[in-house]
Amino acid sequence: MKFIHLECLRIWLSRKENVKNSTYVTSYSWKAFHCELCKSEYKDRITVDNKEFWLFEIQKPKSNYIILESVQL
């Protein structure tokens, strides 16, 4: 497989997403961020024709917020 629509990939990845909501916190996590076929890891964003695209979309609040990232290898 060489090409895939960006929106199709986003939909597929969103099914692997785990979202937990509480009063003041929304937490997003993914169990695996790699291709199930070839096991290559996905980058969090891609560049096509000098435009950068995020593979996943996180709903950002309208008020002030902070993003904390934890990366486990």
Which amino acid is residue 59, in one-letter code? Q
pLDDT score, position 40: 84
Q: How confident is the model at residue 67 (pLDDT cuts 50, 70, 90)?
A: confident
Arithmetic mean of pLDDT, 20-25: 83
Structure tokens at 1: 């497989």
What region, left, alpha or beta, does residue 50 occupy, with left being phi > 0 and alpha being psi -120 to 50 degrees?
Answer: left
Q: What is the mean pLDDT of the chain?
A: 82
pLDDT digits over 41-50, tens only?
888 888 889 9
pLDDT digits over 25-34, tens only?
888 887 777 8
Domain residue extents for the chain: 6-54
Alpha carbon of residue 14 to chain centroid: 7
Structure tokens at 34: 């790699």
Instruction: Specify the pTM.
Output: 0.61
